[in-house]
Amino acid sequence: MSLKFSSLMTLSCTVRVSNIPYAMVAEELMEFLESSIGAGTVFAIKIHTERCNWKSKGFGYVQFETEAAAIKAVELSRKCKLRFQQKALKVDYEQTHIIDRPQLSFCGSALHIGWVAAENEFSSLWSWKTLVTIELYCRKQKLILIFEDTDTAASYKLSWTLSSLHIGGTRSRTQQSSGNVMDPGTQNETKKSRGGILLLQAKHAPKIHKKVKIVSSLRRKKEFSDGRFSFLRDKLEEQNHLWQRCTDFTKNNCIALASSYCLEIPMAEGVIYDVFVETLLNDDAFNEFTDIYIKPEVSTSHGQHNRSDHLIPTELNEGLIRINRLIITPTKEYFIGPEVEVSNRVTRKFKDVLDNFLRVQFTDEDMSALSARTLETSPETFLKTQIRSERTDIYHRIHDVLKHGIRLDGKNYEFLAFSSSQLRSHSLWMFASDQNLNSTCDSIRSWMGNFANIRNVAKCAARMGQCFSSSKQGPVICHYEIEEIPDIERMNAGVNYCFSDGIGRISPAFALDVARTCACFKGKRHNALTPSAFQIRYGGYKGVVAIYPSSISKVTFRPSMKKFQSELNVLDVLEWTRFLPCYLNRQIITLLSTLGLSDDVFISMQKERFISLDGVLKNREAAVKLLQVSCGGEHHKMMMQMLFAGYDPGEEPFLLSMLQAFKSAQIQQILKKSKIFVPKGRILMGCLDEYACLNYGEVFVKVSSSEGSPVHVIKGTVIVTKNPCLHPGDIRILQAVDSPDLQHMIDCVVFPQKGARPHPNECSGSDLDGDLYFVSWDERLIPPVMEPPMDYYPPNSIALDHFPTLEEIQDYFMEYMSNDSLGTIANAHVVFADKEPEKARSQPCIELAELSSIAVDFPKTGVSAMLPKHLRPKAYPDFMEKSGKRSYISTGILGKLYRAAKEDIAGITTSAHLKLYHEYYDPQLVLDGYEDHVEKALQYRRVYDEKLTAMMQFYGVQSEAEMLTGCFSELRPTFGNSIKDVEEKILHAFSGLVVDAKSWFKEMHVAAGQNKDYVIASAWYHVTYHRDFLKQEQGPELGKTWLVSFAWLNYDKLLEIKKYRRLDKSLSAMESLK
């Protein structure tokens, strides 16, 4: 019997019914439908009602017991044979169900959990000799096991997505099995006849649910019996229970230790099991075994492995450190580390006990963020009920870690603090106290500063976290070298606005000193630009200091910059003004469309971007033009120099692979996020007009290119906004003007100190403490109208009568995890702005913009934003690609861009043929004498390739070119990190490997003597590209992926060789350059 996987995906038992009489209730609709289709055919009904008065909206959904019943209902409707009270019901197919039901379900006789010890051999840690139900949900791509624990009589559910499973097993058989199955309760092998065995090898632990009884069940039954617009057949008992997330319930945490699950299938289920096997076989997801041997496992040491040294570079760039990291899921604990990351004020001070720091992050089993429902269960079915939420076992597991700490590798780690960004990612710092070195959590917090005057828990936690911001260490500033000046404040309509909120001054000489210390110069060395402003931390101060030519003091601070009292005197630098390219995104596009911009503008800009991307692989001029305006970093410099040296994209395969990685990543960003490049635009740090030369409605903008020069002043109309932006008034239309007093302010947007309200505050309630603003002077993007800005009043925070205790800060961390709704609100805004006629001006969108403002400030105020039910999307537009959710074809601008992008991608060159590297061996790069260095070069190349391969496998990077360019096309969040965090960790790890390689090159240079750098670089190239070395590594067929970046780690020297060989100059002339 064969059943294709694709056919399961099309099954639907649910229909949408419209033109329902307003007086008709669910039970009447059920009786009417069953009178025409058949008794017992209706499973569930949900008629939609008004939010205010609960009156019927005249449409709803009906879920039938079978697909045949749904088909019959649609056919009768199309023939106008479903008439009730003179109204013909309209019935259409619907893919999303009222209540999810499996497409396939069958039973197993026993479940074993453990791991695959060897081929055809399964080691069992724990077994249930009970009835186990297997459910397959094809639309949601889920597989679920349901069973009862005989010891406690509790029912449990284990669930995975199909993509996280490798599924195999033996087919069902009607004859005596020739294979051996060892009963976990015995030590002897016995022959046993069976229907088959299902083996699930999981990438991660399952999400575990426990069936719990709802205390207020009597109330639910009453509401069910009175529920006029909802119907559910024969499920009263089920409605009095719910599946609540829980932790590992087995003895000795067997689920936490297991990686595989083995299910025995009885003969009676053989036919259904065969259907299941055929289903997966047709999807190439099933691995068939002849027999599987199951044996008990007495040891629980499985899975304990030493971390490979190849993942750890031996040297790091200055400012980078290695920190141990622990991921805690509902069932498991993963020790990840040490990982490379940027240092901060605390880790630099306590570098002698760096191994005692631990970054802890709480995630779900699949490394995604833990949802609020995972921590606190609020029972909601399609019946309208209001039941008090309950904290789950997972909530208590996390809270216990915060309160009592965790023991790891012989050390007791305790809660230390968390930054605002860590709070958003559900992570924090822990520290193992060392009494011998007088290093404890209390002593570290005491060293950080005095927080005694802060009476709000959220604000106190944020101020402590201020010390953990990733930064570069700048110069020491004595307290007498600091000047304090008042803020610029003005009252308007009863509101006191601070125009200088978060910004101070720095003298030009000291700015140069900071730039040198922190290595944040911009452009080529002979034409370097000192940054005009720095985002900093100093003691208890935070914000931005911008160059003020007439400043006498090194730095000048304002009261709005002071967050707490501290005696620390080292300046920490987080960011600085520099070239940052500008892109439209979904939120900005939505707001500009709301303000009246034509859809053709965005479609045209996206089309232009695809045309330019299509040319990047075809000719040098197009590649140079694209790289000059849209990218930066060392990889950008390498590609540019190779192009300037005369290489065409199709001539050198390494250059081609890097350009291909850049192009593929850009295409994915357009398709998935509507990220459209804006040539006439920049992302700029906000600064203040200290000379009061700008009027309200004016800004000063002077920008540089990606190479640091030339610079030019923007004049004319510009739009300014800041992400996230959800309110139409967040888009400000301003005039960019020239000013002789502000010529030193480069790569920043200077706002006026005049007017009734600060322009930064008008943009999403922002300030000048380091916020980055979207600025564009493209005439096509100037909307015809500008909306009044939203009033961004921060909610009143709760003030205590005492200094917040550590327990209160820990409780606040849990409260944030349980109530974080920023992402949900943003997604809801996308949906309502897409489907509402008034777009972002619609009432739902205005409400969501207000909620978003509260959610953004949650880490600082402690006031959460609760998303009401009427603002929760019922269906999602196609461009959001929400699998498993009800969706519709968007007719808005984002939907148009999404489908246009798919058409454009189909019409452009998305890949290029990469020559085998041995086919492109450039003899011009080979110098006499290279043979003397081949042996050592080959040794280092093998070590480099091994470490690079390990990094790529560990982070899931697709190609070597992606590692070098930082342009990742299919990167996935790993170990609880966001994609952005993963990108940063990859680049930090790779930079450490480059430091290693540079030290090897220096070692060879010292051993070889003077004037051998170019010859050594030539040897590195030779052992990477020459066919003889490929044969040594891969054999005669040369089919294996080959890494070549080792040759180009000293690309400047190779390009010099290329340049002088083309000019037919001698090696001695080239060496004289040194």
- pLDDT single digits (tens) 691-702: 999 999 999 999
CA distance 253 to 328: 14
Same domain, 89 and 112: no
Question: Per mean pLDDT, which range of 566-570, 663-667, 734-738 is the poorest?
Answer: 663-667
Torsion angle, CA of 790/793/795/798, rounded to 10 degrees? 170
Question: Would the pLDDT of 851 be above 50?
Answer: yes
- What pLDDT is recorded for position 709? 60
Question: Would the pLDDT of 250 be above 80?
Answer: yes
pLDDT class of 1067 with cuts at 50, 70, 90: low
- What pLDDT is recorded for position 483? 96
Do 1055 and 1018 touch, CB atoms closer than 8 A?
no
- What pLDDT is recorded for position 500? 98
User: Which residue carries 């070195």 as its tokens?
Assistant: 437
The type of residue at 264 is E
pLDDT class of 959 with cuts at 50, 70, 90: confident
- What pLDDT is recorded for position 645? 86
Pairing outcome for strands 503-506 and 533-538: unpaired
CB contact set of 750 (below 8 Å; sequence gap of 6+): 687, 688, 689, 694, 699, 700, 701, 742
Do 772 and 683 touch, CB atoms closer than 8 A?
yes
Q: What is the DSSP code string of 349-399?
A: HTGGGGGGEEEEEE--TTSSPPPHHHHEE----SS------EE-HHHHHHH
- What pLDDT is recorded for position 507? 97
pLDDT class of 409 with cuts at 50, 70, 90: confident
Same domain, 121 and 90: no
Tokens of 47: 């008629």
- What pLDDT is recorded for position 497? 95
pLDDT class of 268 with cuts at 50, 70, 90: low
pLDDT class of 1041 with cuts at 50, 70, 90: low
- What pLDDT is recorded for position 159? 94
Tokens of 978: 């966001």
The type of residue at 390 is E
Distances (CA, A) of 588 to 381, 478, 719, 813, 926: 36, 44, 11, 32, 52
Question: Per mean pLDDT, which range of 723-727, 930-934, 970-974 is the poorest?
Answer: 970-974
For residues 232 and 871, the model is more confident at 871
Do 310 and 946 touch, CB atoms closer than 8 A?
yes
Do 728 and 588 touch, CB atoms closer than 8 A?
no
Pairing outcome for strands 333-342 and 241-245: unpaired
Tell me, yes or no, whether 116 lies in a domain: yes
Question: Would the pLDDT of 1032 be above 80?
Answer: no
- What pLDDT is recorded for position 341? 87
Tokens of 338: 């040490």
- What pLDDT is recorded for position 254? 92
Do 834 and 896 touch, CB atoms closer than 8 A?
no
Task: Say if residue 923 is preceded by a cis peptide, omega within 30 of 0.
Answer: no
CA distance 294 to 112: 8
Question: Would the pLDDT of 118 be above 90?
Answer: no
- What pLDDT is recorded for position 778? 98
Last residue of a domain, one of 94, 117, 144: 94
CA distance 122 to 297: 9
Do 751 and 768 touch, CB atoms closer than 8 A?
yes
542 SS3 class: strand
- What pLDDT is recorded for position 1069? 52
pLDDT class of 748 with cuts at 50, 70, 90: very high
Same domain, 953 and 1065: yes
User: Which residue carries 């000795």 as its tokens?
Assistant: 252
Q: Quick one: 919 exposed, middle or buried, by C-beta within 10 A (0-12, 13-18, 19+)?
A: exposed
User: Structural domain of residue 1011, as residue ranges?
Assistant: 917-1071
Same domain, 90 and 108: no
Q: What is the DSSP code string of 649-673?
A: TTT-HHHHHHHHHHHHHHHHHHHHH
Tell me, yes or no, whether 545 lies in a domain: yes
Question: pLDDT digits over 524-542, tens only?
Answer: 443 468 999 999 999 999 9
Nearest one of 106, 107, 114 to 294, comparing CA atoms: 114
Same domain, 67 and 140: no
Nearest one of 439, 457, 436 to 447, comparing CA atoms: 439
Tell me, yes or no, whether 738 lies in a domain: no
CA distance 174 to 448: 72
Question: pLDDT digits over 855-867, tens only?
Answer: 998 888 888 898 9
Same domain, 81 and 180: no
Q: How many CB atoms lie within 10 A of CB 629?
A: 16
The type of residue at 342 is V
Pairing outcome for strands 555-557 and 503-506: antiparallel
Tell me, yes or no, whether 412 lies in a domain: yes
Average pLDDT over residues 804-813: 95
Task: Say if residue 338 is preceded by a cis peptide, omega within 30 of 0.
Answer: yes
Last residue of a domain, one of 468, 496, 514: 468
Question: pLDDT digits over 895-916, tens only?
Answer: 999 999 988 887 665 455 555 5
CA distance 499 to 493: 15
- Which residues partner with 84 through β-bridges? 87
Question: Would the pLDDT of 325 be above 80?
Answer: yes
Highest average pLDDT, of 153-167, 565-579, 1044-1058, comes from 565-579
- What pLDDT is recorded for position 842? 97
Tell me, yes or no, whether 782 lies in a domain: no
Query: Exposure pattern of 167-182 as b/e (b: 16+ CB <10 Å)?
Result: bbbbbbeeeebebebb
Q: How many domains does the chain have?
A: 6
CA distance 589 to 676: 10
Distances (CA, A) of 16 to 67, 317, 376: 14, 60, 32
Helices (H) and strands (E) in the chain, counts: 31, 50
> Which CATH number do you get for residue 58?
3.30.70.330
Tell me, yes or no, whether 529 lies in a domain: yes
CB contact set of 946 (below 8 Å; sequence gap of 6+): 310
- What pLDDT is recorded for position 172? 52
Average pLDDT over residues 874-886: 88
Same domain, 394 and 511: no
Same domain, 941 and 1048: yes
Tell me, yes or no, whether 319 lies in a domain: yes
Last residue of a domain, one of 520, 549, 576: 576
Tell me, yes or no, whether 886 lies in a domain: no
Question: Would the pLDDT of 605 be above 60?
Answer: yes
- What pLDDT is recorded for position 99? 83
- What pLDDT is recorded for position 222? 38
Tokens of 650: 């199709």
User: Which residue carries 């101070």 as its tokens?
Assistant: 504
CA distance 360 to 428: 5
Tokens of 260: 């595989």
Do 970 and 668 touch, CB atoms closer than 8 A?
yes
Q: Residue 209: what are its φ and ψ, rounded to 5°?
A: -120, 145
The model carries a pTM of 0.86
CA distance 232 to 242: 15
- In the chain, % of residues over pLDDT 90: 51
Tokens of 662: 């850049």
Q: How many CB atoms lie within 10 A of CB 265?
A: 28
- What pLDDT is recorded for position 380? 46
Same domain, 175 and 46: no
Distances (CA, A) of 188 to 182, 194, 199, 485: 7, 18, 22, 85
Same domain, 110 and 199: yes
Question: Would the pLDDT of 758 be above 80?
Answer: yes
Same domain, 291 and 316: no
Residues across the chain: 1074
Question: Per mean pLDDT, which range of 382-386, 547-551, 790-794, 941-945 is the poorest?
Answer: 382-386
- What pLDDT is recorded for position 326? 94
pLDDT class of 426 with cuts at 50, 70, 90: very high
> Which CATH number do you get for residue 270?
2.30.29
Q: Residue 539: what are its φ and ψ, rounded to 5°?
A: 55, -125
Taken in order 683, 632, 422, 249, is the CA torsion positive or negative?
A: positive
Question: Would the pLDDT of 732 be above 90?
Answer: yes
Question: Would the pLDDT of 301 be above 80?
Answer: no
Question: Would the pLDDT of 589 be above 90?
Answer: yes
Same domain, 363 and 437: yes
Question: pLDDT digits over 170-181, tens only?
Answer: 755 443 333 334
Within the chain, what is the greatest distance between any pair of CA atoms? 100
Torsion angle, CA of 676/682/688/692, rounded to 10 degrees? -110
